[in-house]
Amino acid sequence: MNVIEINGLKKRFEKGQFCLDLPEMQVQEGYITGFIGENGAGKTTTLKLMMDMLYPDEGTIQILGMDAHLQGPQVRAQIGYVGSTPGYLEHATLETLKRMHAPFYKDWDENLYRKFCDRFSLDGKKKYKDLSTGKQKQFSLCIALSHHPKLLLMDEPTANLDPLARQEMLDILADELQNEGVSVFFSTHITSDLDKIADYVQFLHGGRLLLAGEKDRICEENRVVKGPLHLLTPETESLFVNLRRSEFGFTGLTGCPDEVFGLLGDEAVYEKPTVEDIFLGYTQAERGY
Amino acid sequence: MENVKNLVRMEGYKLLCIRRALLGYLVLMVFSAFAMQSAVFFFFILLYLLTYTPIAYDERSKGDYHIGVLPVERVQVVQAKYLVSLVELVLLSLLIGVSGSLVNRLCEIPEAYRISFGGIMSLFFGGAMFVGVVMPCLLWLGSIKARYLVMAVYLLMFAAMGAVSYFDNQWITRTAHAGGVWLIPSGLAILLFSYAVAVPLYRRRQFTN
């Protein structure tokens, strides 16, 4: 089953000449899906459309089988949302913020909230503005998870975090998925996070979905090929998604490694790509590199 | 209704967060109650701050995103804003009334300058008119886009009062004193009409930035 289903979605912004165009997009239930794209690709816009903060010009978004626009409050009751800027009252204490937030959710679990606070060492008496960026994000996650959401939506949750805080955040996501079966959809441009925990990835570029699917399968189907320049011919070049040349040779991403191997043989080196290699490869190809 | 109550409570917390900006004016308003004209001045300054500042605070700290992700209907957000405004209006009017009657008992204030029952009614009506015009603009456009409009309404109001006072410096006081209980339902009707306008405007609003 899909937790998110997008059909024929279009959202235009006249001033910026930007158009988000997602004819079809699905997010699988019970998995962690990474939503990757460069700045301005449309990640936050997509998330805002899901939360009904923006309205689509065309198309529909179904979340957990409900229409995100027509059944907004019912949908949001099932979602834990961690925004890039959560918008909490900065001068309020964490306890006050929790008291403000909790009554909106029928399934609010005070014990779970306390458990998360203990895990993140969050002191309820502290003011939100006095927390470090990492702690602020952890508090947002704490709030988002304490009402047993079925879906966790996150907008750049690991941005501006140090490696340790980032790892803690990723650990929590993995735990939640394992223990509670929460489906996670998060936008990021930190590709190493996706390498670590994502099951599925969606690549967004210029408001369009470039590539989507199971991360391991995408990585298996593609290869980074390195070799001397003389191996490049018009026939071989056409098999690469992108190519970078230097005086030492070439590096390129290919989506048909068997055919490339058939042409280049052992003279070239073949490596399994990371999510970043794939993201850069396809994005650069779109930009005409 | 439960959600509206929770949203009202949230507005209350917000006001607590910005209390430092409001407290000085509140004290000034209470002590200005020896004369109708000075009370009117501080009443409207305070009302402006109470209406504009929480929405501006929300926009600056992305608090409107926070409200946007809660499982509430947009109409409930508007209901909460209007309820809070109504309570603020009533409390401010009562505060001026109480402090005015105390001053009247303790000091010899000329009749024309005294804070009267009619004056309080007029204040409530004027405040309802101000909130009724400003609130739909703020909810529709947000505090940043609507600030010039709000400022224009505010300046227009004071300019009109200044112009009237120039020709007849007793007119405002006289008119204010002439107010009656009928101004309360009239003020409420203005708020109700304004609410009916604000709901579709806020429903149309999209949080782009």
Mean pLDDT, rounded, of chain A: 89
Contact check, Cβ <8 Å, B3/A104: yes
Give the model confidence (pLDDT) of A108-154 as tens digits.
999 999 998 998 889 999 999 899 888 888 899 999 999 999 999 99
**B128 has a pLDDT exceeding 90:** yes
* DSSP β-bridge partners for residue A4: A27, A63
Contact check, Cβ <8 Å, B73/A105: no
- The neighbour count for residue B144, using CB atoms within 10 Å, is 12
**A156 has a pLDDT exceeding 80:** yes
- For residue B49, the model assigns a pLDDT of 83
Work out the pLDDT band at B34, boundaries 50, 70, 90: low
- For residue B173, the model assigns a pLDDT of 66
**B176 has a pLDDT exceeding 70:** no
**B82 has a pLDDT exceeding 90:** yes
Nearest CA to B112 out of B41, B44, B178 is that of B178
- For residue A84, the model assigns a pLDDT of 79
Cβ A68 vs Cβ A22: under 8 Å: no
Q: Sort out which chain A residues have CB atoms less than 8 A from B12's CB and list them.
A: none
Look at B52-66, B118-132, B164-178 and tell me which has the smallest mean pLDDT.
B164-178
- For residue B174, the model assigns a pLDDT of 67
Alpha helices, DSSP H only, in B168-206? 171-178, 183-204
- Interface list for chain B against chain A, based on CB atoms closer than 8 Å: 2-3, 6, 9-10, 13-14, 17, 57-58, 61-73, 206-208
What is the separation, in whole angstroms, between the first and last Cα of chain A? 38
CB neighbour class for B32 (10 Å; exposed up to 12, middle 13-18, buried from 19): buried
Search chain B and give the residue with CA nearest A98.
B10
Mean pLDDT, range B8-27, rounded to an integer: 80
DSSP code string of B111-175 = GGGS--HHHHHHHHHHHHHHHHHHHHHHHHHHHHHHHHHHHHHHHHHHHHHHHHHHH-TTHHHHH
Cβ A205 vs Cβ A282: under 8 Å: yes
Instruction: Find the CB nearest B10 among A51, A74, A100.
Output: A100
What's the rounded Cα separation, in Å, for the pair A92 and A86? 13
Work out the pLDDT band at A157, boundaries 50, 70, 90: confident
What is the separation, in whole angstroms, between the first and last Cα of chain B? 30
Give the model confidence (pLDDT) of B130-167 as tens digits.
899 999 999 998 888 888 888 888 788 778 777 776 77
Work out the pLDDT band at A6, boundaries 50, 70, 90: very high
- For residue A18, the model assigns a pLDDT of 87
Nearest CA to B161 out of B191, B137, B131, B126 is that of B126
Cβ B66 vs Cβ A87: under 8 Å: yes
Q: Sort out which chain A residues have CB atoms less than 8 A from B64's CB and list them.
A: 87
- Interface list for chain A against chain B, based on CB atoms closer than 8 Å: 13, 48, 51-55, 72-74, 76-77, 79, 81, 83, 85-92, 96, 100-101, 103-105
Interchain CB contacts (distance < 8 Å): A and B: 71
Mean pLDDT, range B19-25, rounded to an integer: 75
Question: How, if at all, do strands A2-13 and A18-28 pair?
Answer: antiparallel
Look at A219-228, B86-95, B104-113 and tell me which has the smallest mean pLDDT.
B104-113
DSSP code string of A259-275 = HHHHHHGGGSEEEPPPH
Search chain B and give the residue with CA nearest A45.
B208
Work out the pLDDT band at B209, boundaries 50, 70, 90: low
Instruction: Find the CB nearest B71 among A13, A54, A76.
Output: A76
What's the rounded Cα separation, in Å, for the pair A273 and A222? 7
What's the rounded Cα separation, in Å, for the pair B69 and A240? 43
What's the rounded Cα separation, in Å, for the pair B56 and B59? 5
Search chain A and give the residue with CA nearest B14.
A89
- For residue B25, the model assigns a pLDDT of 73
Instruction: Find the CB nearest A76 among B13, B64, B70.
Output: B70
Instruction: Find the CB nearest A53 among B57, B58, B206.
Output: B206
Instruction: Find the CB nearest B17 among A92, A103, A104.
Output: A92
- For residue A144, the model assigns a pLDDT of 92
Search chain B and give the residue with CA nearest A92.
B17
What are the Cα distances from residue A250, in Å, to A87, A262, A286, B193?
Answer: 47, 17, 19, 70
Work out the pLDDT band at A74, boundaries 50, 70, 90: very high
Give the model confidence (pLDDT) of A238-269 as tens digits.
889 888 888 889 999 998 889 989 888 888 89
pTM here is 0.86
**A186 has a pLDDT exceeding 70:** yes
What tokens appear for A129 in the block? 């503005």
Give the model confidence (pLDDT) of A268-280 as tens digits.
899 999 998 998 8
Q: Sort out which chain A residues have CB atoms less than 8 A from B17's CB and list them.
A: 89-92
- Please report, rounded to a whole number, the percentage of residues in chain B having pLDDT higher than 70: 88
* C-alpha distance from A76 to closest chain B C-alpha (Å): 5
Spell out where chain A has E strands.
2-13, 18-28, 32-37, 58-63, 66-67, 79-82, 151-155, 183-188, 200-205, 208-214, 223-227, 240-246, 249-254, 269-271
**B177 has a pLDDT exceeding 70:** no
